[in-house]
A and B are shown apart, each in its own frame.
Chain A
Amino acid sequence: AQSVTQLDSHVSVSEGTPVLLRCNYSSSYSPSLFWYVQHPNKGLQLLLKYTSAATLVKGINGFEAEFKKSETSFHLTKPSAHMSDAAEYFCVVSGPRDDKIIFGKGTRLHILP
């Protein structure tokens, strides 16, 4: 069985400071992992994905995430937050047999001026 847990429902950071959004997963087999972003009143957009290649994945807009199998984590980071990063972020897990895709509950990122 698969599951995904986003550890924080809200995160607030000041503009120019680092961003860390935490995600833990559970999977019976090698998962594919994704981070999507949703801006207000918009659909979801892929930030990055891990599909069993390099464990450090670089995405759009300066975001990156590291797959850590020993910690079952896939945290999203960015060195310096920008006001335009304010949005909701979803961690997503799917399995190689295409039998499930599970979205986390989301983390709302607030950027303080």
Chain B
Amino acid sequence: DAGVIQSPRHEVTEMGQEVTLRCKPISGHNSLFWYRQTMMRGLELLIYFNNNVPIDDSGMPEDRFSAKMPNASFSTLKIQPSEPRDSAVYFCASSHGTSGQFTDTQYFGPGTRLTVL
């Protein structure tokens, strides 16, 4: 298996632009997580899905952020409009989600490094 796939690996954009990050989870996994990692705040859970349904989006920082999972093999995280403080590494992870949303092992993608100028 190729593991969790994220694209792009790096994104540089200007303030005010729309940014879309993409994730393909491991086949057969039914839980998907989006995280943000910064020096100041560490690793934070933004939102997670189970069977393509958003379960908890309380970690999404504000309305500029949105996430979708139209099918079991694809998810997007969108920022519109982007701001310099959104600069971070964004990780997608997936898990089987059978024994519990967070107790199953999560498999992380390589991340997308976002820079907003």
Q: Which residues of A contact B (CB under 8 A)?
A: 32, 36, 41-46, 49, 51, 90, 94-96, 98-101, 103-106
Q: Which residues of B contact A (CB under 8 A)?
A: 4, 42-45, 56, 91, 93, 99-103, 105-111
Check B108 against A44 for contact (C-beta < 8 Å). yes
* Candidate in B4, B102, B110, B111 with the most chain A CB atoms within 10 angstroms: B102
Knowing A32-B102, A98-B101, A98-B102, the reply to whether A43 touches B109 (Cβ < 8 A) is yes
The interface residues of chain B lying within 8 Å CB-to-CB of A45 are: 108
Do most interface residues of chain A lie in helix, strand or loop, or is the interface mixed? loop
Check A43 against B102 for contact (C-beta < 8 Å). no
Check B91 against A96 for contact (C-beta < 8 Å). no
Check B111 against A43 for contact (C-beta < 8 Å). yes
A106 to B44, CA, bound (A): 12
Min C-beta distance of B51 to chain A, whole Å: 14
The interface residues of chain A lying within 8 Å CB-to-CB of B44 are: 103
Check B100 against A101 for contact (C-beta < 8 Å). no
